[in-house]
Structure 1
Amino acid sequence: MYPAVTDRQVLALSIPWLELDEQRRIAADLKLQLTAVEDARQAADQQILELNSLANAIIRESLSHLDSETHALGDVLDEVKQGVGARWTDFPVLGATRDGLAPAKEGVGKNPERYKPVQVGTVFYNPMRILIGSIAMVDEGDAVGITSPDYVVLRGREGVVDSRWFYYWLRSPEGERCIASLARGAVRERMLFNRLAEGQITLPPYAAQQTASRALAELRPMKRAVEARLREIDLLPQRLLAQVFDSEEEAVHA
């Protein structure tokens, strides 16, 4: 894939020459800076964990409602089976990851008209990766799109299940236990809607779900801000290295 690099070519490369004391000074400075970057990354990661824990707590509190009832998932969810048709070119292809909604890694495949529409309030998941949490939802403010015809796409039944509440429930420990109870032990389990429909869910009254859903919606901008900060933090090591070596090369040639 890549052309071979010979020893002669490597030895012919020129690099800025610095005295040993200067090399040690640069290494010490970089170590301090990269340690600060790692501390910032860990702090941001901890904030994400705390926001996830808060979301789980909101779900758990809603489930404690005295009028909660147990239902089969198939009785309270509607599967989206119909493909988008000829309008598939109008929409981006979306995927589901462990972090939620994301652009699909691959473009449209064969039979693009069979790709399923994912609108606001739609929950969808990769049936081969649901056991590791590859679940997504198109929420208010997200761009609508289409997703693979192999994905399971569903919505909460109107007036019975709030889709945002259900999405967070599905990603919560309660949802994880439900999914695990339906698994059959295969390394790469394929969980289509008919299997998911067999699962049981404890549903608070719809009004209680909506109250929890509004609280969950308030977490989204906070999480997005932390995720944006994490992306910036991940770029810092490369920027620091480039800054150091660019400045040292300029000093050598000055």
Structure 2
Amino acid sequence: MSNWPIMPLIEAADIASGITLGRKTKETDLFTVPYLRVANVQDGHLDLDEIKQIEVTRSELNKWRLAAGDLLLTEGGDLDKLGRGTCWREELPLCIHQNHIFRVRLELDTHDPEFVAYQVGSDYGKAYFLKHAKKTTGIASINKKVLSVFPLISPPLKEQRQIAACLKAQLAEVDKARQAAEAQLRETTKLADAIVFGSIRSGKTTKHNLGEVLQEVKRGIGDSWADYPVLGATRDGLAPAKEPPGKKPERYKPVFPGTVFYNPMRILIGSIALVDDDDTPGITSPDYVALQGRSGMVDSRWFYYWLRSPLGEQCILSLARGAVRERMLFNRLAEGEIELPDYDVQVKASAALAALKPMRHAIESKINDINILPQKILAQAFEM
């Protein structure tokens, strides 16, 4: 590869940024068309779940209309958005792009769009953008000048197509492996739900308000706050918090083994966590709701999986008042109803649920390893 010629990208392509949102026009003959935002352009693929529309003039439509093979690259923002991109494959019959996305239209008789897209998305490409980007705290961006002089590795077109086809096949196999592992992870969730449902159906149950069988953790950790990691709750469960303690760290709540806690602003999307017996004790934001099952009434692990199951989701939704960003504090959750099996039945189910944890961790570790493979494959292809 070191013998292949390298040229500035501008010598092989026409580079243009897209339409500026909110610009004014005096023309009245306008067309409503879909446009791509930064959120639509991901690393190696497009996310077209939400496509917005804009009114444009005929000249604007002709200027920014995307064509098959156009390479779309984001100018930046967060570091992970820097130079992020993929090829346009006419996923929509008509589409343009906004000004924070660069459109790179290659000379197709000399350069293969897939080959260039893989090259830009490799460590080789990312290293160039990181080196030449304009940076502020946590934010980076590139401009047209930086993109224009990108050092494009340019083997003969036939070799470009061969390399692109090989990489496409390898990445497709990686994607198959990822999908298989993610399916395994979903099966463990279904199994957890089945264990919870089975415990409820196995014998006598009693109905309670949640406030009767749970107790809230209200008191802060105090002066020993620095001895513990700060923990957060995500849709995947327990995770290190993104932010360090605030101005009053002594008010952070202790979340020790047997504690369930959740983000009251995000419980509707499942941001709920459990500190299990083998987890490191920690503290969490005083804005979070932390709770434990009352002794001899509710096994906390069983309750955690119940809360994340369809039964728990149904309970949460029944308490919601329809606001997009409402806070569900403990006093609201306490109004919900739960059908409790005998405590001994909960404990037995809880042991079965605990056995799922190492299985999930093994699958999650496998997924993490798989997610690293695409960059390894691309790095080997474009190693200089």
**Is 1:123 paired with 2:260?**
yes
Structure (1 or 2) with the larger CA radius of gyration: 2
Q: Which residue of 2 aligns with 1:171?
A: 308
Identity of aligned residues (%): 61
1:46 aligns with 2:186: no
> Which amino acid letter does the alignment assign opposite residue 148 of structure 1?
S
> In the alignment, is residue 88 of structure 1 matched against residue 245 of structure 2?
no
Structure 2 gaps of 5+ residues are 1-76, 78-132, 135-140
* Aligned match for 2:195, one of 58, 71, 91: 58
- Stretches of structure 1 that go unaligned for 5 or more consecutive residues are 250-254
The corresponding residue for 1:183 is 320
1:234 to 362, 371, 376: 371
What displacement does 1:232 show? 1.1
TM-score, reference length from structure 1: 0.93
What secondary structure sits across from 1:101 in the alignment?
Answer: strand
The residue type equivalent to 2:303 in the other structure is F
Question: What letter is aligned with 1:214?
Answer: A
Measured in 1, the distance between the counterparts of 2:189 and 2:310 equals 11
What is the alpha-carbon root mean square deviation over aligned residues?
A: 1.5
The separation in 1 between residues aligned to 2:245 and 2:286, in whole angstroms, is: 10
1:66 to partner: Cα distance: 2.6
Q: Counterparts in 2 of 1:201-212, with a 5 A limit?
A: 201-212=338-349
Per mean C-alpha deviation after superposition, the further-off stretch among 112-121 and 233-242 is 233-242
Q: Does 1:112 align with 2:257?
A: no
Q: Structure 2 residue aligned with 1:144, among 247, 260, 281?
A: 281
Distance 1:20 1:173, change over 3 A: same
- Determine which structure has greater relative contact order: mean sequence separation of CA pairs < 8 Å that are 6+ residues apart, divided by chain length: 1
| Pairwise CA distance, 1:140 | 1.6
Q: Which secondary structure does the structure 2 equivalent of 1:207 belong to? A: helix
Verify: 1:29 aligned to 2:166, yes or no: yes
Q: Provide the rounded CA distance (Å) in 2 between the counterparts of 1:11 and 1:179.
A: 52
1:9 Cα offset (Å): 5.1
Offset of residue 221 of structure 1: 0.4
- Distance, in Å, in 2 between the alignment partners of 1:6 and 1:183 is 45
For residue 135 of structure 1, what is the amino acid of its counterpart? I
- Whichever residue aligns with residue 237 of structure 2, its letter is G
1:67–1:6 distance in 2 versus 1, CA, 3 Å:
closer
Structure 2 CA distance for aligned equivalents of residues 71 and 8 of structure 1: 66
CA distance in 2, matches of 1:26, 1:84: 57
Distance 2:235 2:145 in 1: 46
**What amino acid is the match of 1:199?**
G
1:12: how far off?
4.5
**What is the CA-CA distance between 1:7 and the residue it aligns to?**
5.6
What's the offset of the Cα at 1:25?
1.1
Give the counterpart of 2:360 among 219, 223, 226. Answer: 223
Shift of 1:15: 3.6
Q: Are residue 214 (structure 1) and residue 351 (structure 2) matched?
A: yes
What SS does the corresponding residue of 1:189 show, helix, strand or coil?
coil
Q: Summarize the Cα distance change of 1:13–1:184 in structure 2 as closer, same or farther, 3 Å threshold.
A: closer
Worse-matched range after superposition: 215-224 or 4-13 = 4-13
Q: Residue 381 of structure 2: which of 223, 239, 244 is its match?
A: 244
Call closer, same or farther: CA 1:29–1:118 in 2, change over 3 Å.
same
Q: Which consecutive aligned stretches of 4+ in structure 1 deviate over 6 angstroms post-superposition?
A: none
Find the counterpart in structure 2 of residue 252 from structure 1: none
More strand as a share of residues:
2
Q: Specify the SS of the correspondent of 1:83.
A: coil
Q: Give, in angstroms, the shift of residue 8 of structure 1.
A: 5.7
Q: Tell me, yes or no, if structure 1 residue 70 matches structure 2 residue 207.
A: yes
Aligned residue pairs, count: 247
